[in-house]
Amino acid sequence: MTTTPTALTAETLLEGLNDPQQQAVRHEGVPLLVVAGAGSGKTRVLTRRIAWLIAVRKAHPGSILAITFTNKAAAEMKERVSELVGNRARMMWVSTFHSSCVRILRKEVEHLGYERLKSNFSIYDAQDQKRLIQLVCSDMELDPRRFQPGPILHWISNHKNELRGPDEVAAEARNSIDETYAAAYKSYQRRLREANAVDFDDLIMETVRLFQLKPEIRETYRRRFRHILVDEYQDTNHAQYALIHQLCGQDLEEHDPTTLDGLPADRVPPAELMVVGDADQSIYAFRGADIRNIMDFEKDFPDARTILLEQNYRSTQTILTAANAVIERNEGRKPKRLWSDAGDGEKIVGYVADTEHDEARFVSTEIDALTDQGLKPSDVAVFYRTNAQSRVFEEIFIRTGLPYKVVGGVRFYERREIRDALAYLRMLVNPDDQVSLRRILNTPKRGIGDRAVLAITMFADRERITFWEALQRAAEAPGLATRSQTNIEGFVAMVVELQQMVAAGERPDVVLETVLDRSGYLASLEGSDDPQDATRVENLGELVAVAREFAEDPVAAPSADPADVDAGLVEPGLADFLERVALVADSDQIPDAPADDAADPDAPEDQGVVTLMTLHTAKGLEFPVVFLTGLEDGVFPHSRALGDKPELEEERRLAYVGITRARQRLYISRAVVRSAWGAPAHNPGSRFLGELPIDLVDWRRTEADQTRWTRPSYGSSDDYSGNRLGAPNAAGRRNFSSAAARADAAAKSKPSRPIPVLAPGDKVTHDSFGLGTVVAVEGAAEKSVASIDFGSDGVKRLLLRYAPVEKL
DNA sequence: AATTAGTTCATTTTT
DNA sequence: TGAACTAATT
């Protein structure tokens, strides 16, 4: 296909699209919902439609607002549209909800009516929020047992997503706990604003509030955005939904006539709206996503039209049939069946392992076999429900020499040194940012300890000045040691000097390097003998590189908004860099599609690596081969979801997402025994396994194949679920709070303790000694004792009844 | 101020 | 089990 914009015609834009896809591209007028099943080419539809709007319907690019959920998706979409329509695409707003809202808020903050909130506000992420709420809690002298940061923040976030401010919530508090929470919410908000900061949820909530407060401002944006497209609509929360309505709703005025004040008489008709999503892939309810937004679209927009995309261009029919079969179990779901003309392909391969180690070994061996058949490790992904499950795979993969990469876990921008460095930069841009300021005040150690901080805090409170102002007037603070005062003065002098540098418009990377140097931060790491600190220095080098790249080419950097650059908004400064970093976080996380780039000719064996990740992070990705692991009730579906229908349905959608990531081959596996929190637990197979059509799965190994155990003569039942393996050691008796332990307790009534039947020469594993070979066995059944050679750990005599030994 | 020994508590996390 | 946080020690 040609990429020359001049050759762009209606025909080329519809080329290669199926009928419903074409309809979605051509649609005009009423609100449109595109229900896009997994792999049905929705990104293609979105990009073609945008190009269509510009090229065929002559829409001004600046009148287009396209919302995605990740910056990566935004950057990709912008890129693809640019390929179609060329430079004109620069004027579009293609960004996340959060980025769009930041742009609006930075411009309009003063209309919000917060005294301290200015356009250089900081954006607080989860970690910053936690620090702030901790300050609030200690301020309120809350019992740290009953009121923990996590739950409070979650509670606040829920309310913000529902657009409920602190006063509203306080008014509705029904008990003392709610009242305390509401008070914490109020204090948290107050401190946020005092710090000239907002959190992620505020970005949306405050934008909605802005539009409510100032209808004329809302009107200017309604006027500007004539075409609004929202991707991943099933993941929107209520606040985001409200925002869309403010921009597109045709009947908003009737709902709320009081907001009409100040509206120009010549109001514009609502923008053309298209939302794209798939209710079956809604897996973020726990973060406030409200599946009703997409389910009720036709109700919310009565004249709406719906287009279904069911043809899948990614997977084999076998995989799709499996996915359909699972998701159909969800109730109240709108019917949709994915289909493919790619043929049935391979059967799904199933495997029941004895333990999670065996499961990982199976995966490893199988990947080995696949690579022998010409597949690259980068074609393979291993999915699991929780991050903790990655460990076993890592252990085994390291042992077998299989290259891999874990996606998720500790992200680059969450590392301590990166956050420290960014905290310096943030407080330079916004000295009111107390969280950042407190973070680096004594990092590295410069003799400003808790006592000094306390004295300054009290002084600031009494004088009703900010923390930073109090630091500058440290000499007046009562109860401050002279030594601390000297140290603070040194710190203030350094900050002032750095601030001048920023004010002079110095490049972000240069500021960063100076900060690291002048603060002594880098020196303190370099002087350390902790090997971790060497890595930290490297990471900081990386951050400087990121800043440099940004300074030199902000457009090429991920998710840049060229409209800003075009608009002659000077060259990006430190504040812009911080904003990018705050909202983009980790584009380097997910390895790009198996790179064909001959970037490194010195690495001919570059076959890429196997990708390990949670099912949640897998959303939106695809791989030729997928291993779906840990399919056990209590693991996946997660134990917390077992008793709750909506949650169980969300787990099922997660399974659906996982299955539909696979293009050619899908493996499903589970472990009969899995060690959770130290104690081995016996998990029954996932209910989702039973929902797969049996003829689609080729079971390589089943429960019946598992290592034989002597069954107690009185326990003839096939049902082994709930049995605990090995000795009821100290570890095993702890932790009766978890669901796994509860299942275990329920099983206690059944007297049975499987004892492995061993013979000399057998290979076994022991929980603490590892791999061993049986040398001799004495006694029978309950009294059998085996002598086992564990290599470097020597030969042990073990009473099989108690020893955590497994036959291999 | 920094190390260390206890204690607690364990989903998922696009921004 | 083990990481992550707190409290107590030197």
pLDDT tops 70 at residue A793: no
**Percent of chain A scored above 90 by pLDDT?**
61
Answer yes or no: are the C-beta atoms of A784 and A769 closer than 8 Å. Answer: no
Burial of A289 (0-12, 13-18, 19+ CB in 10 A): buried
Confirm whether any atom of chain C, the nucleic acid strand, is less than 7 Å from CB of A693: no
pLDDT computed for residue A310 by the predictor: 97
pLDDT at A276 over 90: yes
User: In sequence order, what DSSP letters do the residues of A571-619 get, joined into one string?
Assistant: S--HHHHHHHHHHH--TTSSPPSS------TT-TT----EEEEEHHHHT
User: Residue A708: pLDDT above 70?
Assistant: no
- Give A102-108 contacts, CB < 8 A, sequence gap 24+: A102/A203, A102/A579, A102/A583, A103/A561, A104/A207, A104/A210, A104/A221, A105/A198, A105/A203, A105/A206, A105/A207, A105/A210, A108/A210, A108/A214, A108/A217
Q: Report yes or no: A284 and A236 within 8 Å, Cβ to Cβ.
A: no
| Calpha distance A576→A317 (Å, rounded) | 47
User: What is the fold of A320-403+607-706?
Assistant: Rossmann fold (3.40.50)
Active-site residue, from A12, A23, A26, A43: A43
pLDDT tens, residue by residue, A127-167: 889 889 988 888 888 877 778 888 899 999 999 999 999 99
Decide if A42 is catalytic: yes
Nearest to residue A114, comparing CAs of A209, A249, A47?
A209
Give long-range contacts, CB 8 A cutoff, 24+ apart: A141-149.
A142/A180, A142/A184, A147/A180, A147/A181, A147/A184
Q: With cut-offs at 50, 70 and 90, classify the pLDDT of residue A171.
A: very high
**CA-based angle A232:A233:A239, to the nearest 5?**
125
Nearest nt by C1' to A102 Cα? B15
Q: pLDDT for A419-475, tens place per residue?
A: 899 999 999 999 999 999 998 998 888 888 888 888 898 899 899 999 999 999 999
Residue A751, preceding peptide bond in cis (omega within 30° of 0): no
Residue located via tokens 């084999």: A316
Least confident of A8-12, A320-324, A359-363, A509-513: A8-12
Q: Provide the pairing of β-strand A770-778 with A785-789.
A: antiparallel
Domain ranges of chain A: 10-106+203-311, 122-195, 320-403+607-706, 412-584, 711-749, 763-807
Confidence category of residue A781, pLDDT binned at 50, 70, 90:
low
Q: Mean pLDDT over residues A34-51, rounded? A: 96
Nearest to A252 by CA among A217, A215, A210: A215
pLDDT value at position A620?
92
Q: A787 by DSSP, 3-state: which?
A: strand
**CATH hierarchy code of domain A10-106+203-311:** 3.40.50.300
- Rounded to two decimals, the pTM is 0.82
Which residues, 6+ apart, have CB-to-CB distance to A12 below 8 Å?
A1, A2
Average pLDDT on A741-768 reads 52
Report CA-CA distances (Å) from A623 to A68, A375, A547, A594, A628: 22, 11, 32, 9, 12
Angstrom distance (rounded) from CA A103 to CA A299: 31
State residue A365's pLDDT score: 96
Question: Under 8 Å CB-to-CB from A738, ≥6 apart: which residues?
Answer: A639, A676, A677
pLDDT attached to residue A782? 55
pLDDT of residue A766: 64
Angle A531-552/A508-518 helices, nearest 10 degrees? 150
HEC assignment per residue over A451-479: HHHHHHHHHHHHHCCCHHHHHHCHHHCCC
Q: CB of A415 within 8 A of CB of A525?
A: no
- The model's pLDDT over A54-108, given as tens digits with 9 standing for 90+, comes to 999 999 999 999 999 988 899 899 999 999 999 889 999 999 999 999 999 999 9
**Residue A555's pLDDT band (cuts 50, 70, 90):** low
List the A145 CA – B14 C1' distance (angstroms).
32
- Find the range with the poorest average confidence among A248-257, A338-347, A764-773: A248-257
In tens, the pLDDT along A400-418 reads: 999 999 888 777 888 888 8
Q: Strand B positions with any atom < 7 Å from protein CB?
A: 1-2, 9-15
| pLDDT tens-digit readout, A231-244 | 999 999 999 999 99
Strand B contact with A447 (CB < 7 A): yes
| Spatial separation of the C-alpha atoms in residues A196 and A118, rounded to whole Å | 6
Say whether A552 is catalytic. Answer: no
Question: What is the structure's pLDDT at A605?
Answer: 59
A675 CB closer than 7 A to any strand C atom: yes
Please say whether the beta carbons of A80 and A47 come within 8 A: yes
Q: Rounded distance, CA A276 to CA A66, Å?
A: 11
Per-residue model confidence (pLDDT) at position A716: 28
Q: What's chain A's average pLDDT?
A: 84
Q: Sign of the CA dihedral A286, A290, A292, A297? A: negative
Q: Which of A41, A567, A33 is nearest to A299 (CA)?
A: A33
Q: Which nucleotide is nearest to A678 (CA to C1')?
A: C1
Q: Is the CB of A151 under 7 A from strand C?
A: no
Helix/strand/coil (H, E, C) string of A275-304? EEECHHHCCCHHHCCCCHHHHCHHHHCCCC
**pLDDT digit string (tens) for A497-522?**
999 999 999 999 999 999 999 999 99
Tell me the average pLDDT across A627-654: 94
Sign, Cα dihedral of A178, A184, A187, A191: negative
Task: Decide: A647 and A418 in contact? Cβ < 8 Å.
Answer: no
Q: What are phi and psi of A754, to 5 degrees?
A: -65, 135
Q: Are strands A272-277 and A623-628 parallel, antiparallel or unpaired?
A: unpaired
Q: Is the model's pLDDT at A261 over the cut of 60?
A: no
Q: One fold for both A10-106+203-311 and A320-403+607-706?
A: yes
**Which fold does the domain A412-584 belong to in CATH?**
PCRA; domain 4 (1.10.486)
d(CA A301, CA A279): 17
Instruction: Count CB neighbours of A482 within 10 A.
Output: 8
Distance A71 CA to B13 C1' (A): 15
pLDDT per residue as tens digits for the range A243-253: 999 999 765 44
Which has more pLDDT, A709 or A523? Answer: A523
Closest CA to A653 of A203, A284, A242, A347: A284
Quote the DSSP letter at residue A90.
G
Residue A313: helix, strand or coil by DSSP?
coil
Name every residue whose Cβ is closer than 8 Å to that of residue A772 and which is 6 or more positions away in sequence: A763, A764, A765, A766, A788, A789, A790, A791, A793, A796
The dihedrals phi and psi of A669, each to the nearest 5 degrees, come to -145, 160
Could you name the CATH architecture of A122-195?
Orthogonal Bundle (1.10)
A43 is known as an active-site residue = yes
Q: Is the pLDDT of residue A318 over 70?
A: yes
pLDDT computed for residue A554 by the predictor = 64
Instruction: Note the pLDDT of residue A725.
Output: 31
The answer to whether residues A650 and A283 touch, using CB atoms and an 8 Å cutoff, is yes
Cα(A35)–Cα(A276) distance, rounded to whole angstroms? Answer: 6
- pLDDT of residue A186 exceeding 50: yes
Higher-pLDDT residue of A807 and A13 is A13
Q: Which bases along strand C come within 7 Å of a protein CB atom? A: 1-2
pLDDT for position A754: 55
Residue nearest to nucleotide B14 (CA to C1'): A70
The single-letter code of the amino acid at A82 is S
Residue A588 has pLDDT above 90, yes or no: no
Check if the beta carbon of residue A107 is closer than 8 Å to that of residue A119: yes
Instruction: State the catalytic residue, choosing from A47, A281, A466, A611.
Output: A281
Identify which of A201, A246, A205, A203 has the alpha carbon closest to the alpha carbon of residue A222. Answer: A246
